[in-house]
Structures are given as C-alpha cells and as structure tokens.
Structure 1
C-alpha cells in the first residue's frame, strides 16, 4: 500500500494487523460507541463496531532520502507486557526487501517516539548481541523523548525496550538527537505533538504544493477524532494528548493534506461540529 505526496512516495509495510482486542489501549471505544460513528466502517471498524488497527512502518522516499518511520515490534524481544509481542519470529525484513526496501538501502530511521511498538526493528539479534538492523542508516530520535526514557525507564518493560532497541543504537554511534520541530530535509519537517509521550513528534511532508501528515500516535485510531477526550491507556499525559489532538486536527482539517496514522491508513480530516471525521474519499 502506498501513497504519493508530490515527489515523495510513502509505502506502508505491515508487521501485524488486528481486528478487535483493542480495549486495553482504548477502553472507551466500546462496540456500541463505535457503531455510532458509521464513517469508520468499513475502513477502520467492522459492522459490529470492532476496531481495525495495525502495527506498521512507513517508508518515505524523497528525491534524496529513503527513510523508515517507526520500526514496529521486532523479533526475538523479551520483557514486553503484551504476551504476543515477546519472542516474535516474523518475516518483516523479508517483506520489506520484497517491497523493494532491503535494510541496507535505508539511510534514515526516524522514530516518532520511543514506545515498544515503534522501535522494535531498530535492532536485531546477531551473535547474541543487539545490533542496528539498518546498518547504513542514521537513527533520528527526538532529544526530549530520548532523554525522558533514558532517565525515566523505571518499569521493567520500559527498561527492556530501552536496553534492546534504543541504547544499542546510541552505543553504536548511530543516533542523532534532534529538536521536536527540526527540519529533516527539504520535504520533511517535524511537529512537536506531546501527550502520548513527552517528546512525541509528528511528521509534515510538503512537496510540489501537496502535503502529507504522519501523526504517529497522536491518535491510535480515527475514533479519537470524533472523541478527542478518548485518551489511550499508553498516554503519558492524557489531558495534554487530548489538547494535542484538537490542535493538530484543527490545523489540518478541511485541507487536502493526506493523513496517515501510526496504527491506521490514509484519509483526510474533516470538521464535524466540535470534533472531526476521517474520510477516505474526500
């Protein structure tokens, strides 16, 4: 699945897809409430009101760069707080290669934030050690985000994620810490979008008069556009995440901007009273 924004091509590489089983992350998104939002069906929910979500990476190709945005769960990882996320053995890298993106062809890895399902393929297990998966790439982390998890990874699962998927990149000299509003290249600018995590960033793509927005986890699912106060259980600051959603969606609503989420596919944001809708054919 891919989209074009001017001269920039965005390709989604899926690691895992789910239907339902999402109440642990969005407890207020009951089947009954989702059925009240018919615009979610069929792209983002089933007729029964079960949410459709994915864990994926986005490969962003500009005229000069080949960037992987977020790297999913990874293989062989342990200490995760979701049982099915441990000791995974999936052909994700083979899928990437088959799509035309062998790991060595990637020159930049950009993480919107440093949660477990966005950093896993930063590293792979080789000879009993965690080594950078994308050997030719520089890894771009938000400075605020990195410093927070370096200094505040107290819970065992957070420690495991940092130690196997973030710290080895820094130790290998591959990490570049940047401001949350930095310009990555001519077509790509970062937008600070804190709340889900302290240094969370979204990605604005502009090329040939067209625009795209990679939101990361500002929203885990488009239902949060209708219910801005439905914060995720993983949000570090639920009130701030709700305010960030309102600000970001207000900025891009009713524009031609193509919006792609960290766990859902592309559409456009439209105002709907005091909130928003996410419309595929808009």
Structure 2
C-alpha cells in the first residue's frame, strides 16, 4: 500500500482534462493520483487474481495480466444550468492519513482543475457522494496553518442521512482527524447543505439528480446527469471497480453494510444494462467511462474513450 507522494517537480502546465459529452454538457475527469497496486487486493479482497483473470475484457485497462486491479483517484467537473459543479474532491494535499498512500500528498490537482476551466473560486456546487477520506480531501486546503474551504463560493452538498450517521458513529482517531480537517471547516463556514434523498432521488439542479445507493455508507449517493436525451451516471463507491460488474457480490472491505451495498449495486447495474447511459467510475482507471452490457451471468463495461484532449478556450 505504500506509495511515494505524487509531487509536482516541474513548471509545465498540466495536460487538459479528459472529457465526455452528455447532451450539451461536457464532463471532465480531473486526475489526482493513481492508487498503488496493492489497493485492489486490500479494498476488494474477494477479487482474487484468479477471479480477475477470468474476465478478459478487464485487460489491459482495468487490470494487468497477473490479475492486479488498477484504481485511480479523480473527480468529475461539469457545468449544468449555469452551475459549475465538482463531484467528490479526492484525497487532498497535506492531509494526515493512516493510509500511507493518502498521507501528506503533494499533487497538482488544483492546477489540473483550473486547466479544465474550473478555478476553485469559480466552483458553485460540490457534490459529496459520501464522507470518506478519499472523497472529501480537497474540501479544504491549508492556509496559514488553518484548514479553509477550497471552494469558498460553493454550496457543498451531501445526504442528510450520511452526515447524521457519522455524527453518532464511534470514530477512530484517523476518521476524527479527517472530519476535523476536511468536513468540519466547511460546516463552520456555513457551506455544507444536507439534502433529504428519497428513493426516487432528489433533483438539485435541472438535469442533475442525486440517487440513493446505500450500503458502502448509509447515505451514499450516485449522481445522475441528463441533457438533451443523453444520460450519465457517476458511481461514487457503489461500484469501486469494473470487476464488480462481472461479480456484483464482490464488496469492499470498508462497506458499512455489505449486504445492502450488494443490493444497491445489483439494482443500479440492472437499471443501466443495455442502455446508452454513460457510466463514469469514481475510481475506474482510464478509460474510466463506458456502457454496461450483459455478459455471461453478469455484466461488463464497454469502454467509451474520452474525447481528444484539447486545451479549454
């Protein structure tokens, strides 16, 4: 699980973010850091190499020939109805974390976000699929020794069920630290909005809907985007890796409710299979996006490559 911090050592401008068109909306993937090779075996212990190797379609993008899974940390940025939106905020820089692969990172995430056309001061809405350390880290950045909101003009949104669950949870110190540096400063700034998300979902802007996908955490959300007949679905951690399409019963070691997580995953995949909905995996390695198609006794991901990289106008 050890990995060296991703440290920017040159002054070159970051490459333009990969993107996909969904109707009139462009969704940008803003890269933070590839996760180390040991992540998959730890996170999805039932995705053993022999299980992974049975799915040839996972190669070469989502796994290597030895059955080692590839996973990434990234966010998605888009503009809808005039709102500049960021979905999840990754691990963050300079955060004290128990996981050595997440500890004290020094990445160029904000430069990449800005290069995609989303300067932190311009972001209007930050959607948090759930409150785990690798999804809330860039909520804040350190300024003069204090953690302050990275997106000071944004409304940060998560499920009320999610926040209320953690408010009564007996946290270990590492999780308390994460809340101290990445959640509580946003609350104290009055920027965190809690949303009630019924079974049918909650529309928070025209064409942008939060869908309940509980299990990984009690208030976990997926994010649905619709525009001019196009549809996309950002998975959050309901699905960590495409191997779970072939084997929906494979869950994450950190699922709060593994049985409910499997139900959410199966229901979501069944609703996506055979449709033209673009699925964007929050931890899927490039090409990151694809269509869900039936395959053997489960599903597989048919990749949809990102558009050619071009600099934003």
**Normalized against structure 2, the TM-score is what?**
0.87
Q: Is the 8 A contact 1:149 1:162 kept in 2?
A: no
Match in the other structure for 2:228:
208
Q: 5+ residue gaps in structure 1?
A: none
SS in 2 for 1:164: helix
Q: CA deviation at 1:106?
A: 0.7
Query: In 2, Cα distance between the equivalents of 1:4 and 1:247?
Result: 25
Query: In 1, Cα distance between the equivalents of 2:275 and 2:55?
Result: 21
SS in 2 for 1:51: coil
Q: CA deviation at 1:19?
A: 5.7
Query: In 2, Cα distance between the equivalents of 1:122 and 1:196?
Result: 20
Q: 5+ residue gaps in structure 2?
A: 1-17, 306-313
Match in the other structure for 1:85:
102
Query: In 1, Cα distance between the equivalents of 2:179 and 2:23?
Result: 36
Match in the other structure for 1:222:
242
Distance 1:36 1:274, change over 3 A: closer
CA deviation digits over 1:111-164, x for unaligned, max 9? 000101000000011122111001111111111101111221511121111111
Picking from 196, 209, 216, the partner of 1:196 is 216
Q: Write the mapping of 1:17-166 to structure 2, written as runs, cut at 5 A.
A: 17-18=34-35, 20-21=37-38, 22-78=40-96, 80-166=97-183
Higher relative contact order (CA 8 A, sep 6+): 2
Q: CA deviation at 1:273?
A: 4.1
Q: Give the length in aligned residue pairs.
A: 281
SS in 1 for 2:35: strand
Q: CA deviation at 1:47?
A: 2.3
Query: In 1, Cα distance between the equivalents of 2:304 and 2:154?
Result: 35
Match in the other structure for 1:260:
280
Query: In 2, Cα distance between the equivalents of 1:63 and 1:188?
Result: 9
Query: In 2, Cα distance between the equivalents of 1:60 and 1:235?
Result: 28
Query: In 1, Cα distance between the equivalents of 2:192 and 2:171?
Result: 22
Query: In 1, Cα distance between the equivalents of 2:250 and 2:32?
Result: 25
SS in 2 for 1:211: strand
Q: CA deviation at 1:30?
A: 2.0
Q: Is the 8 A contact 2:35 2:101 kept in 1?
A: no
Query: In 1, Cα distance between the equivalents of 2:157 and 2:177?
Result: 20
Range that drifts further, 209-218 or 83-92: 83-92
Q: Is the 8 A contact 2:29 2:75 kept in 1?
A: yes
Query: In 1, Cα distance between the equivalents of 2:36 and 2:189?
Result: 38
Could you list the runs of 4 or more consecutive aligned residues of structure 1 that deviate by over 3 angstroms after TM superposition? none
Range that drifts further, 154-163 or 118-127: 154-163
Match in the other structure for 2:302:
279
Query: In 1, Cα distance between the equivalents of 2:241 and 2:178?
Result: 23
